[in-house]
Amino acid sequence: MKFGVVVSEGPYTHQAADTAYHFVVAALAAGHEVPRVFFYHDGVNVGTRLSVPPQDERNIQEQWSALAREHGIDLVICIAAAQRRGMLDEKEAERQGKDADNIAEGFRISGLGQLIEMGIQTDRLVMFGD
């Protein structure tokens, strides 16, 4: 089975990003496919490279980046939600006249079309968060 996953709550304030991560790990271990995870609303905050959790806590962003690298998962951050929260990739930072970007390795910014495409191309769409 091919799953599409949506994460719409931020890390460290809600369990959605952690639960989604463990769902994807379990789905892959069971032989399913997860070609894309779409981060929406506050879920886009999972993809910042500037978060620094305490050393004795899990680093949700690094977990997602490693999972994407290992399994070729497309981690997409909604551009509108990201811009509202001050998250920019290199290209968008330049376009907006900002002096820095903050998107983590393995994540990319794109539009809602990627969410719609994911819904069409997968067997099930699973949402974590509101």
Give exposure, 66-81, as e/b (b: 16+ Cβ within 10 Å). ebbeeeebbbbbbbeb
10 DSSP 8-state letter: -
H-type helices in the chain, by residue range? Answer: 16-29, 60-71, 79-84, 90-95, 112-121
Is residue 49 helix, strand or coil?
Answer: coil
Please tell me which residue in 7, 17, 67, 78 is annotated as part of the active site.
78
Phi, psi of 26 (to 5 degrees): -65, -40
Q: What angle do CA 73, 28, 110 make, to 5 degrees?
A: 20
Catalytic, 78? Answer yes
Residues taking part in catalysis: 78
